[in-house]
Structure 1
Amino acid sequence: MNRIVRNFINEAILTGKRAVVVGTGRSGLAAARLLDVLGAKVRVVDRDETVTGEKLGELAGKVELVTGPHEKAHFADADMVVFSPGVAVRKLAPVLEGIPARNLVAELELASWFIEAPILAVTGSNGKTTTTTLITEILKKAGRRVFTGGNIGVPLCEYLLDMEPAEILVLEVSSFQLQNCRLFKPHVGVFLNFAANHLDYHQDLEEYLDAKLHLFSRMTLDDTALLHESLRPPLNGRTFTGARIEWFGPTSRFAAPHLLGEHNRSNVEAAWQAVKRFGVTEEQAAEAIREFRPLPHRIEPVAEKNGVLYVNDSKATTLDAAEAAVHAFDRPVRILMGGVWKGGDVARFAEGIDGHVASVGLFGGSRDILEPELARHFSVTWDETLEAAVRRQASLAAPGDVILLSPATSSFDQYRNMAERGADFKRAVEGLHG
């Protein structure tokens, strides 16, 4: 068990304190487990009335479970409220009235109190998972013992309870997590880019940016903030960190044969600038980057049929990500888009891809938002399902074209997540003749 966790237990720092955990996802349950170990009286609340004690696993019978609409009474006796990622705290304000802001924390924040190893944290609107995973592979190639988690894979609370200590913690961190972090402090923080995203969660772009900047607020001159050069305008005049600030952009320093597009050249440079702070040589980085392949659903080639390349970029849930994907190809692109709208400037997007896109195949939701502006520039069709849209675009395509699933939306109109959407695209492509 972690030394600081043991100290909390021995000194009974949280013994008998009431901790309310919001959400029964993996991060929420990991936080509940840690709080239970620390001796707190834990109540787990979830809006989903179908959640039962069975979902609590080993915590069943040890913690209180409350389901259904949140009520002020569920939080009135709380000494601490811990939020799972994706829980919009702003929307809970009426039931949290009277609880000091310092007592409202993210699962990431809670776990960070017990971390001694240096943290390398990556945030941004797009490219977080690719860059975080690439950083991990480089560090492993250099022989370092690494834990990777946060917004991907294993929650930080789970690492504390179940895993061997690592030399370096590489974390992907989202605005959802950062919004309720006050003491979280990485040794190296990376901010890849900023674009309209999660406006179904955040009140506006200013709140979204402010949440991202929480990553840097506790850093000092002993730490490094790595910022993409595109962030200069939105950050101009802001005082948001005490860290040393360094800027990066796309370069061709390394051969990255499997990572397409200028945005990935920026991601590669960010990874290198981050890992060299931990003693990695350029040769070690070059080897790992050369071997690195894109993760599933991120500009992932699926098949080539009748001279048409089919590419799965289901992870592109913003207009900026979709635009970057289009520009990754020097072939005509027929782009598939649609789902739950998250915000952005469709007119600017259309201008950005004009001359590169042969047609747009819309499917599912957001047709009313996307079609009016896109139809001013491109031939646009709409189908209810992704499979029908794939078949229609395949019938229009000529040898040399790319049919690119890059939806610029979240998947929750028709799918449980972006991975399920990407898998459905692959299935549809497999069903095509040729």
Structure 2
Amino acid sequence: MRDMVHSGQLAGHTAVVVGAGASGRAAVRLLSRLGAWVRLLEKNPAAIPADFCQAQACKGVEILTGEHTPGHFAGADLVVLSPGISRASLAPYLTACPDAQVLAELELASWFVEAPMVAVTGTNGKTTTVMLISHLLTRAGLSVFTGGNIGTPLSEYVLAGEPADVCVIEASSFQLQNVFTFHPKVAVLLNFSANHLDWHADMDEYLAAKLRLFAMQGPPDLAIVPADLDYLLTGRAFTKARIETFAASDRFRCPRLLGRHNQADMEAAFAAVRPFGVTQELAETAFFDFAPAPHRIQVLGEKRGVIFVDDSKATTVTAMRAAIETFDRPVHLLAGGVFKGGDLEGMITLLRERVKSVGLFGGSREIFESAWQGALPLEWSATLAEAVEKLYARALSGEVILLSPATSSFDLYSSYKARGRDFQAVFAALPGAPESPTGEKP
């Protein structure tokens, strides 16, 4: 793989990278290695690490901060977008480089990947499924790179020059909207529901971005979709892959993965690894000892018999529904933040069946109250800590306090991880002797 990346490939070309997050910085380093003249644009100067600025300035990379201008894009042959930056938002500036190829960092990096790629997209469950797939492949004795929208950008894998047997990639709609040759051997769509409608123009655009995952696949490749969504691919001209469906079942068990939706994720993961020789027997053993990432229906423990569950990663209404359906005991729900769309009123029947009270916190108060006021006890607090304390005061032994916000975190926190960590700190500080989670389904 080292031979694939050398300084002559983009010599004489100008590349503009928009956004200085992890993928943007990785793209800058890769483009520079390829010999391009690189300009990095970032509106927030504080987002760029000082050591990165120094190192790239020595290599001739131009770093510009503040509001974009058409001049920043003048002469560009390539414009590489970080996840979360839409092409539409740059339309006024791209007129300065009408012939430039605008692409995602994922697309750029994939040009230099020889290993077979397994790529996973969907509204919910992407990270858990990617981790499951990587866990299964590793247990089968294969070397695995795990990255993309989760953790390490694919460009970092290319730069490292250490080939893996398989690359397992989480792909977001933001990334997929700007890929054109990205070609996974196995592509997985987990599910689809309203999300990111504060970013995408509408549901049709959001779905079209997801389905780009399958666009470059051919007959030797595998496209995996839920049984109830197979109509999205069957008979469609844009993919020629072999199509396989999946649905939740009781075939596999993982004590640390609760809920029917995780049963579906395990089925999807197994379907994705079968082409690499993973047997059902190996999968059964590997699933059982799998440890999921934090903040995904993570049982923190108990105080006074009340179970605390951190599902801060639930940034959609669909994810909230799945979390609530996981528990067969009364739930006190924590919700609130930056609402991204979804049918809150459609949740009322489930809320009445399983949720005793709702503690709202932070942003979107008026949206939640408009949808749920009068359906069940509902109270708003300015902070998560205050909302938790109120729910804890009324919760009874055997009940659940569930953080599953159905929103992004950017009203009060820098990320869903920061929100989850705060919830865990609040839990630790509450009165009552903590008890460790058992790992069994509550």
Normalised by the length of structure 1, the TM-score is: 0.96
Task: Give, in angstroms, the shift of residue 238 of structure 1.
Answer: 4.5
Cα separation, 2, equivalents of 1:178 and 1:141: 29
Aligned 8 A contact 1:327 1:353 in 2: no
Cα 1:216–1:74 change in 2 (3 A) is: same
Gaps of at least 5 residues in structure 1 are none
Identity of aligned residues (%): 52
- Partner SS, residue 355 of structure 1: helix
Aligned 8 A contact 2:248 2:263 in 1: yes
Alpha-carbon deviations, 1:239-276, whole Å to 9, x = none? 43111111111011112222111100000000000001
Amino acid at match of 1:58: A
Amino acid at match of 1:81: V
Task: Give, in angstroms, the shift of residue 98 of structure 1.
Answer: 5.8
Q: Counterpart of 2:2?
A: 2
Q: Counterpart of 1:230?
A: 228
Aligned 8 A contact 2:305 2:398 in 1: yes
Task: Give, in angstroms, the shift of residue 353 of structure 1.
Answer: 3.6
Task: Give, in angstroms, the shift of residue 133 of structure 1.
Answer: 0.4
Cα separation, 1, equivalents of 2:23 and 2:13: 20
Cα separation, 1, equivalents of 2:220 and 2:198: 36
Cα 1:3–1:73 change in 2 (3 A) is: same
Gaps of at least 5 residues in structure 2 are 433-442
Q: Counterpart of 1:285?
A: 283
Cα 1:141–1:181 change in 2 (3 A) is: same
Amino acid at match of 1:138: L
- In structure 2, which of residues 126, 129, 136 is the aligned counterpart of residue 128 of structure 1? 126
Deviates more, 1:249-258 or 1:210-219: 249-258
Cα 1:240–1:333 change in 2 (3 A) is: farther
Q: Counterpart of 2:200?
A: 202
1:103 aligns with 2:101: yes
Q: Counterpart of 2:213?
A: 215
- In structure 2, which of residues 395, 398, 422 is the aligned counterpart of residue 397 of structure 1? 395
Q: Counterpart of 1:173?
A: 171
Deviates more, 1:291-300 or 1:94-103: 94-103
Q: Counterpart of 2:57?
A: 60
Cα separation, 1, equivalents of 2:95 and 2:308: 51
- Partner SS, residue 5 of structure 2: helix
Cα 1:239–1:101 change in 2 (3 A) is: farther
Aligned 8 A contact 2:338 2:410 in 1: yes
How big is the alpha-carbon RMSD for the aligned residues of Structure 1 and Structure 2?
A: 1.6
Alpha-carbon deviations, 1:12-57, whole Å to 9, x = none? 3310100001111111111111111111000111111445664435
Aligned 8 A contact 2:73 2:96 in 1: no
Cα 1:335–1:364 change in 2 (3 A) is: same
Deviates more, 1:128-137 or 1:350-359: 350-359
Cα separation, 2, equivalents of 1:281 and 1:215: 26
Cα separation, 1, equivalents of 2:177 and 2:240: 19
Amino acid at match of 2:196: H
Task: Give, in angstroms, the shift of residue 300 of structure 1.
Answer: 0.3
Cα 1:51–1:358 change in 2 (3 A) is: closer
Q: Counterpart of 2:330?
A: 332
1:13 aligns with 2:25: no
Normalised by the length of structure 2, the TM-score is: 0.94
Aligned 8 A contact 1:2 1:114 in 2: no
Cα separation, 1, equivalents of 2:222 and 2:355: 39
- Partner SS, residue 315 of structure 2: coil
Task: Give, in angstroms, the shift of residue 309 of structure 1.
Answer: 0.3
Alpha-carbon deviations, 1:353-402, whole Å to 9, x = none? 43011111100001110112212321111100000000000111111110
Q: Counterpart of 2:414?
A: 416
1:361 aligns with 2:362: no
Amino acid at match of 2:335: M
Cα separation, 2, equivalents of 1:426 and 1:51: 26
Q: How many residues align?
A: 430
Q: Counterpart of 2:248?
A: 250
